[in-house]
Amino acid sequence: MSETILLLGCGDLGIGLAHLLIQKHFKVIAVRRTPPQHCTLSNKLTWIALDLTHSQHLQSLPTEVDWVIYTPAPKRKQIDIYEALYHNALNDLIKHFKSSQRLRHWIQVSSTSVYGQNQGEWLDETSPTSPTTATAQFILSAEQTLINQPYFASTIVRFSGIYGPKRYWLLRKTIQQTPLRKNPPYYTNRIHRDDCINILLHLIELSRQNTPLAPLYLGTDDTPISEWEIGSWLSQMFEIEPLQTPDQDNLRSKNKRISNQLIKSTGYCFHYPDYQTGYTAVIKCLQNLYGSAYKEHLISSHKS
């Protein structure tokens, strides 16, 4: 019997993961509201067009699968959308899968936004959560719902700021010379999109080998860095001058440093362990695609 993986909410991360899973000969079933029309994987996996927020649609979901990967990706930061995905849909999905005799592990993508610390503290999986927004509260509530359900084993992966293909927010900010704060330091955390995908694959492989998984892992690279340091480095790459804001005493809610030691202790090796290797690869890819006009493309693609 083929080992089967169900990808729920199969967006960018899910499609990237599906590529790797198919190479390893898993049977992949991908679920999203509207499957992509032009996808090189279309003849290699099974697409199910389904809105997870409509409970009456869930009866068509197969439960005889080995792993479920839930990657909710709200299109907008609206409370009702987060409630639908992180509360309503998750509760309905748990009910749907509670009688599965085959499900080995459920892996759910979450976010480091559930932390509210803002003094530049180092955080790990044992640090207390204190979400400061309603959307982050729904994300944390979803984690607690999954952890507390008694039906199947589960693991949560909290990713920090994801960058990479089509995720160019910081590059645009730098090109447009948005002022950066230098003092006091404002720490940021990030992870390349490819490492997100490979961490999920790594956890599946560990589960496949019957290696016990922790209930929670933090997915972030090796180098939390201040906004000024990374902005200055990117400005140098773009051959422009970084702009500094006046020094401020008030700290933002996202000022923290996140440790990745637990996921690394499982044997995972980062493809992009720091922002230099990651953003160098991203910029080189853009240059290969758009030549000397890649900066203009970055800005215009954001407006379109």
Q: In what order do the strands lie in the sheet with 46-49?
A: 46-49, 27-32, 4-8, 67-70, 105-111, 154-159, 216-219
At CB < 8 A and 24+ separation, what contacts does 31-37 make?
Answer: 31/6, 31/7, 31/61
Burial of 157 (0-12, 13-18, 19+ CB in 10 A): buried
pLDDT, averaged across the chain: 92
Total residue length of the chain: 304
pLDDT band at 251 (very low <50, low <70, confident <90, very high): low
pTM of the full structure: 0.94
For residue 249, pLDDT over 60 is answered with no
Tokens of 219: 């997915």
Report residue 50 CA to chain centroid gap.
Answer: 21
Average pLDDT over residues 115-139: 95
9 sits in the region (left: phi over 0; alpha: psi -120 to 50; else beta) called left
Name the residue ranges covered by the structural domains of the chain: 4-162+191-219
Question: Selecting from 1.10.287.180, 3.40.228.10, 3.40.50.720, 3.40.50.12590, what CATH number does the domain 4-162+191-219 have?
Answer: 3.40.50.720
Report residue 127 CA to chain centroid gap.
Answer: 19
Cα–Cα–Cα angle for 29, 31, 34, rounded to 5 degrees: 130
Better-predicted residue by pLDDT, 211 or 73: 211
Burial of 177 (0-12, 13-18, 19+ CB in 10 A): middle
Tokens of 231: 């902005």
Is the distance from CB of 290 to CB of 297 less than 8 angstroms?
yes
Residue with the two structure tokens 């995905």? 85
Beta bridge partners of 225: 188
pLDDT digits (tens, 9 = 90+) for 132-184: 999 999 999 999 999 999 999 999 999 999 999 989 999 999 999 888 888 88
Four-point Cα dihedral 279, 281, 287, 292, nearest 10: 40
Is the distance from CB of 13 to CB of 159 less than 8 angstroms?
no
pLDDT band at 304 (very low <50, low <70, confident <90, very high): very low
The residue among 280, 270, 10 whose CA lies nearest residue 159 is: 270
Average pLDDT over residues 108-124: 95
